[in-house]
């Protein structure tokens, strides 16, 4: 049995027994198995060792002079909070075992025992600790998902994205169909993954399907499967993606490009939870949650006869719209830092940050490709960077993306309201000033030519942290 971890750490074991022969035997046995072993002749001696060292497991006799095993368990308390305690006794009864368990022992073994029994009970204890560690990791992951500025792999602090995260978190716990809308590059698949990971289906598959990326003559077979001999080349039965996603989630991306004949069949699946493979006369029941996504306006598509109206209403049970990056421009500095950390780690480059001029340049861009475009620009900059700080020369953005151009103004604010336009521009200028001063609000207020209290008031009104 290899008791060492990947880092080379050896599990430490404390043996507590008043019989010298028993201590010697267990010391030899466990040391040969790769453990680091200390021994103590009674509970009081064991307590002294616990004050100076941490042990992964304790083998403790119940009947001992000065301080017996049960008294030791009670006295050790906090020292054993992360330690697996295995009690031993030649005089044990069920009541004794129950009392030991109540006081924190993990297991109980009767003397005399064979060496294999000790190693077996220790292996069980290690498996239990491994499961506890996995549970802690899963809880940490769930805590990350539920952080206010995170949902799955998405991060944001803007009010509009916080509203998206809150809605997605609430929707995730139910098996209702979700329709995610938004421009290309806004993170529709990431949102779908976040919903899946936060749902009770998280342990099952999430299978993404690009409805626009599979030829129409193959799409039905890919989705619903086929029987052997159903068409030329069908040399075996094929279950299809619905069947592969059983118990999990099927993410139908670009659902607006689904051919009309398949729209009818998808509607039947949503209504009856059944699929019929190509070439089969029998239907199969499937347990699959549908999350669909599109960059098209399906209501308009339905009105023009390009998308089935009944399917649109069936998909649109829980619509979630992802705003474009210019609608959440306060998230740009946060996303920049996130992507810098990702790619400096991936490419093993010593990148410490980004210059204020580069941030100002990126804040002025109109972002037609949204978050995907920003990520690609940061990845390229990290690859090309020759210095620890990313400078403005590493970023090529079209001149039309500058503030002051008609396209950029249209992207920042719709309509003709001077009040709304002023607020949008104020928000961007405040973010630029804060980025240029490294978050120093006094210096930012000076650049903006307003008072410090006025800056704080505007930051609060615009939700800028």
Q: Select the CATH number that applies to the domain covering 151-323 from these four: 3.65.10.10, 3.40.50.1860, 3.30.1360.120, 3.40.50.300.
A: 3.40.50.300
Q: Whose CA is closest to 340, among 380, 287, 304?
A: 380
Q: How confident is the model at residue 401 (pLDDT cuts 50, 70, 90)?
A: very low
Q: Is the pLDDT of residue 8 over 60?
A: no
Residue with the bigger pLDDT between 339 and 457: it is 339
pLDDT in the model for residue 458: 85
pLDDT of residue 231: 87
Q: Is the fold of 12-140 the same as that of 151-323?
A: yes
How many Å apart are CA 360 and CA 435, to the nearest integer? 7
- The label of the residue with tokens 């719709």 reads 414
Dihedral sign, Cα of residue 66, residue 68, residue 71, residue 74 = positive
Count the residues in the chain. 465
At 90, the pLDDT band (50, 70, 90 cuts) reads: confident
pLDDT of residue 141: 62
- Bigger pLDDT: 144 vs 96: 96
Q: What Rg value do the Cα atoms of the chain yield, rounded?
A: 31
Percent of the chain with pLDDT over 90: 47
Q: How far, in Å, CA of 93 to CA of 70, rounded?
A: 14
pLDDT band at residue 142 using 50, 70 and 90 as cut-offs: low
**With bands split at pLDDT 50, 70 and 90, how would you rate the model's confidence at 321?**
very high
Per DSSP, 9 falls in state P
Q: Residue 349 is encoded by which pair of tokens?
A: 């480059």
Smallest Cα–Cα separation from 152: which of 208, 207, 202, 209? 202
Is residue 1 scored above 70 in pLDDT? no
pLDDT of 6 > 80? The answer is no
Q: Where are the beta strands (DSSP E) in 144-201?
A: 150-151, 154-155, 178-181
Q: Which residue has the higher pLDDT, 382 or 397?
A: 382
Reference 435, options 317, 356, 335, 343; nearest CA is 356
Residue 99 binned pLDDT confidence (cut-offs 50, 70, 90):
confident
**pLDDT score of 324:** 92
Instruction: Look at residue 91 in the predicted model and tell me its pLDDT.
Output: 73
Q: Is the pTM of this model over 0.75?
A: no
Q: What is the largest CA-CA distance in the chain?
A: 91
Residues forming a β-bridge with 400: none
Task: Give the position of tokens 């306006």.
Answer: 297
Phi and psi angles of residue 389, each rounded to the nearest 5 degrees, phi first: -105, 130
> Which of the 8 DSSP states describes residue 328?
G
Let me know the angle formed at the C-alpha of 187 by 243 and 295, rounded to the nearest 5 degrees. Answer: 80
Strand, helix or coil at 318?
strand
**215-227 per-position pLDDT tens digit:** 888 899 999 999 9
What is the C-alpha to C-alpha distance for residues 327 and 340, in angstroms, rounded to an integer? 22
390 neighbors 355 (Cβ within 8 angstroms) = yes
Lowest-confidence region among 7-16, 166-175, 266-275, 427-436: 7-16
Per-residue pLDDT band at 275 (split at 50, 70, 90):
very high
Q: What average pLDDT does the segment 265-289 reach?
A: 92
Statement: residue 137 has pLDDT above 60: yes
321/253 Cα distance (integer angstroms): 14
239, 200 Cβ separation under 8 angstroms:
no
Give the model's pLDDT for residue 248. Answer: 95
Does residue 403 have a pLDDT over 80?
A: no
Q: For residue 62, name the pLDDT band (cuts at 50, 70, 90).
A: confident
How many alpha carbons fall within 13 Å on the CB side of residue 306? 10
Q: Which fold has domain 326-462?
A: Helicase, Ruva Protein; domain 3 (1.10.8)
Q: Say what the pLDDT of residue 147 is.
A: 56
- For the chain, which residues make up each domain, given as ranges? 12-140, 151-323, 326-462
pLDDT in tens, 326-383: 889 889 999 999 999 999 999 999 999 998 888 888 888 889 899 999 999 999 999 9
Tell me the range of 177-181, 266-270, 400-404, 417-421 where mean pLDDT is highest: 177-181
Instruction: Select, from the ranges 322-326, 427-431, 456-460, the one with the highest average predicted confidence (pLDDT).
Output: 322-326
Residue holding tokens 């294999």? 116
Q: What is the pLDDT of residues 409-432, one digit of tens each?
A: 555 555 566 766 777 788 888 888
Does the pLDDT of residue 157 top 60, yes or no?
yes
**Residue 400, pLDDT score:** 42
**Three-state DSSP class for residue 353:** strand
CB atoms closer than 10 angstroms to residue 110? 15
Closest CA to 401 of 391, 413, 390, 412: 412
Nearest to 370 by CA among 135, 128, 186: 186
CB contact at 8 A, 249 and 192? yes
pLDDT at 356: 83
Mean pLDDT, the chain, integer: 86
- Edge to edge, the sheet with strand 36-40 lists 36-40, 12-16, 57-61, 84-89, 107-110
Cα–Cα distances in angstroms (integers) from residue 97 to residues 44, 86, 108, 258, in the given order: 21, 10, 6, 64
12-140: which CATH topology? Rossmann fold (3.40.50)
Any long-range contacts for 110-117 (C-beta under 8 Å, 24+ apart)?
A: 111/22, 113/88, 115/29
Helix ranges, 90-181 (H):
94-102, 115-145, 159-172
Residue 338 CB contacts under 8 Å (≥ 6 apart), including other chains: 155
List the single range of 273-287, 289-303, 391-405 with lowest mean pLDDT: 391-405
Candidate from 62-76, 128-142, 155-169 with smallest mean pLDDT: 128-142
Lowest mean pLDDT among 59-68, 174-183, 282-291: 59-68
């Amino acid at each position: 049995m290899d008791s060492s971890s990947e880092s080379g750490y050896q599990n430490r074991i404390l043996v507590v027994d008043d019989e010298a022969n028993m201590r010697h035997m267990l010391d030899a046995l466990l040391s040969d198995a790769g453990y680091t072993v200390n021994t103590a002749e009674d509970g009081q001696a064991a307590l002294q060792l616990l004050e100076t060292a941490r042990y992964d497991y304790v083998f403790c006799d119940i009947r001992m002079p000065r301080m017996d095993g049960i008294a030791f368990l009670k006295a050790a308390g906090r020292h054993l909070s992360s330690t697996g305690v295995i009690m031993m006794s030649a005089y044990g009864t069920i009541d004794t075992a129950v009392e030991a368990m109540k006081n924190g022992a993990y297991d109980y073994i009767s003397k005399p025992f064979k060496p294999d029994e000790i190693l077996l009970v220790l292996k069980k204890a290690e498996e239990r600790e491994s499961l506890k560690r996995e549970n802690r990791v899963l809880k940490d992951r769930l805590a990350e998902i539920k952080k206010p500025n995170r949902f799955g792999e998405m991060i944001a602090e803007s009010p509009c994205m916080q509203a998206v995260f809150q809605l997605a978190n609430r929707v995730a716990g139910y098996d209702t169909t979700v329709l995610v809308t938004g421009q290309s590059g806004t993170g529709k698949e990431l949102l779908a993954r976040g919903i899946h990971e936060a749902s009770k289906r998280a342990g099952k598959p999430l299978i993404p399907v690009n409805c626009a990326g599979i030829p129409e003559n193959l799409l039905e077979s890919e989705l619903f499967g086929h029987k052997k001999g159903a068409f030329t080349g069908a040399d075996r039965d094929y279950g299809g993606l619905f069947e592969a996603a059983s118990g999990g989630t099927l993410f139908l991306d670009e659902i607006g490009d689904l051919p009309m004949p398949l729209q009818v069949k998808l509607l039947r699946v949503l209504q009856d939870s059944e699929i019929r493979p190509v070439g089969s006369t029998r239907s199969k029941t499937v347990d699959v949650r549908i999350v669909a996504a599109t960059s098209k306006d399906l209501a308009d598509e339905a009105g023009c006869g390009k998308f089935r109206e009944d399917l649109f209403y069936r998909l649109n049970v829980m619509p979630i719209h992802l705003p474009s990056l210019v609608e959440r421009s306060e998230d740009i500095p946060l996303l920049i830092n996130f992507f810098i950390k990702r790619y400096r780690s991936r490419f093993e480059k010593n990148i410490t940050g980004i210059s204020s001029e580069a941030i100002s340049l990126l804040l002025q861009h109109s972002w037609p490709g949204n978050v995907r475009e920003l990520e690609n620009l940061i990845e390229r900059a990290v690859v090309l960077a020759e210095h620890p700080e990313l400078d403005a020369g590493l970023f090529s953005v079209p001149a039309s993306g500058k503030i002051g151009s008609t396209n950029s103004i249209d992207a920042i604010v719709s309509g003709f309201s001077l009040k709304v336009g002023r607020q949008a521009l104020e928000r961007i200028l405040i973010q630029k000033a804060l980025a240029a001063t490294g978050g120093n609000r006094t210096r930012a207020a000076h650049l903006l030519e307003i008072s410090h209290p006025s800056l704080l008031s505007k930051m609060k009104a615009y939700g800028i942290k």
